[in-house]
Structure 1
Amino acid sequence: MRTHRFYPVLASKRGNFFSSSSLSPSETIKDFYACINDRKLKRLADYISADCHIEECSFPTPFEGREEVLCFFDQLIASMGDNVKFRVKQVCEGDELIAAAKWHIEWKNAEIPFTRGCSFFECSKEGGKLVIKKAQIVIESPVKPGRLVLVLLKIVTTVFDDFPKTTEWFLKSPHVILQWLLKIYTILFGIFINPVLQSYVPVWKLTARVYSYVFHIVLYILKIFIK
Structure 2
Amino acid sequence: MKSTLPSMSFQSPCFKIQPATQQSLWPPRRQSTRKPGLPLKLIRAALGPDANGGLLNADRRGATLPSSPLSDVVQEFYSSLNERNSKRLDKLMAPDCIIEDTAYYKPLDAKCTHIYFKRLMESMGEKVKFAIDEVCQGAGRTAAVMWHLEWNGYIIPFSRGCSFYICSVNGAVLLIRKIHIFNESPLKPGKWALEILNIVTNLFNVFPKPAEGFLKDPEAVAQPFINLYKFYVEPFIIPFLAYYTHFWTYVGRGLSMVLHILYNLYKRLM
TM-score category, normalised to shorter length: 0.7 to 0.9
The 2-side partners of 1:168 and 1:113 are apart by 36
Q: Answer yes or no: is 1:3 the counterpart of 2:40.
A: no
- Kindly state the Cα deviation for residue 184 of structure 1 after the two structures are TM-superposed: 4.3
Taking a change above 3 Å as real, the CA distance of residues 188 and 107 of structure 1, as seen in their structure-2 partners, is farther
Asked whether the 8 Å contact 2:136–2:144 carries over to 1, the reply is yes
Asked whether the 8 Å contact 1:26–1:92 carries over to 2, the reply is no
Match of 1:33 in 2: 78
**Which of these residues, 158, 167, 182, is aligned with residue 114 of structure 1?**
158
Asked whether the 8 Å contact 2:47–2:132 carries over to 1, the reply is no
Computing the radius of gyration from Cα coordinates, the structure with the larger value is 2
Taking a change above 3 Å as real, the CA distance of residues 171 and 77 of structure 1, as seen in their structure-2 partners, is same
Letter in 1 for 2:4: T
Unmatched segments (≥5 aa) in structure 2? 7-42, 49-54, 60-66, 246-270
- Kindly state the Cα deviation for residue 187 of structure 1 after the two structures are TM-superposed: 6.7
Match of 2:214 in 1: 170
Q: Deviations over 1:189-213 (max 9, x none)?
A: 7467996xx99xxxxxxxxxxxxxx
The 1-side partners of 2:47 and 2:155 are apart by 19
The 2-side partners of 1:137 and 1:145 are apart by 21
The 1-side partners of 2:198 and 2:79 are apart by 42
Asked whether the 8 Å contact 2:3–2:140 carries over to 1, the reply is no
The 1-side partners of 2:121 and 2:3 are apart by 34
Letter in 1 for 2:117: F
Q: Answer yes or no: is 1:24 the counterpart of 2:69.
A: yes
Match of 2:109 in 1: 64
The 1-side partners of 2:202 and 2:97 are apart by 38
Which of structure 1's runs of 4+ aligned residues deviate more than 4 A? 184-195
Taking a change above 3 Å as real, the CA distance of residues 150 and 130 of structure 1, as seen in their structure-2 partners, is same
Match of 1:155 in 2: 199
Q: Which moved more, 1:143-152 or 1:72-81?
A: 143-152
Structure 2 residue matching 1:29: 3-state secondary structure: helix
The 1-side partners of 2:86 and 2:204 are apart by 46
CA RMSD after TM alignment:
2.8
Unmatched segments (≥5 aa) in structure 1? 17-21, 200-227
Q: Deviations over 1:31-55 (max 9, x none)?
A: 1011000111000001111111101
Matched positions, count: 192
Letter in 2 for 1:78: E
The 1-side partners of 2:232 and 2:186 are apart by 29
Taking a change above 3 Å as real, the CA distance of residues 189 and 123 of structure 1, as seen in their structure-2 partners, is farther
Match of 2:57 in 1: 14
Match of 2:135 in 1: 91
Asked whether the 8 Å contact 1:8–1:92 carries over to 2, the reply is yes
Q: TM-score, normalised by structure 2?
A: 0.63
Match of 2:190 in 1: 146
Match of 1:53 in 2: 98
Match of 2:126 in 1: 82
Q: Between the two proteins, what is the percent identity of the paired residues?
A: 37
